[in-house]
């Protein structure tokens, strides 16, 4: 289904699924993780978890990897932004 055809809940579920299947396995290799905070239009807000919290690579390479992965699987205009506060689990 096209991104534009999904409601807010559908977009959130699609992002969660893509993060779980394509992003988490890579981040978990280094003891990290990511959680969806919210979706607003084409903006996806995430919170880093585990080893990714405070890691210098989280704001550079990892963020780019997450954005490119979500763009490849969901929509090519998605923008991923990190949450300022780490997500508690």
pLDDT in tens, 13-22: 999 999 999 9
Whether the pLDDT of residue 82 is over 90: the answer is yes
Task: Provide mean pLDDT across the span 41-45.
Answer: 97
User: What pLDDT is attached to residue 51?
Assistant: 84
Whether the pLDDT of residue 89 is over 60: the answer is no
Q: How far apart are CA 1 and CA 4, in angstroms?
A: 8
pTM: 0.88
Domains, the chain, with CATH or none = 3-82 (3.30.300.130)
Q: How far apart are CA 47 and CA 84, in angstroms?
A: 8
- Close Cβ partners of 12 (under 8 Å, ≥ 6 residues apart): 36, 38, 39
Whether the pLDDT of residue 71 is over 70: the answer is yes
Neighbours of 69 (CB within 10 A): 18
């Amino acid at each position: 289904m096209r991104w534009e055809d999904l409601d807010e809940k559908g977009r959130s579920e699609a992002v969660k699924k893509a993060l779980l299947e394509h992003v988490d396995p890579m981040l978990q290799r280094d003891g990290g993780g990511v959680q969806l905070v919210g979706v607003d239009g084409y903006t996806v807000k995430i919170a880093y978890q585990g080893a990714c919290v405070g890691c210098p690579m989280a704001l550079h390479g990892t963020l780019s990897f997450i954005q490119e992965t979500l763009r490849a699987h969901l929509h090519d205009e998605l923008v991923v932004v990190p949450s300022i506060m780490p997500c508690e689990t």
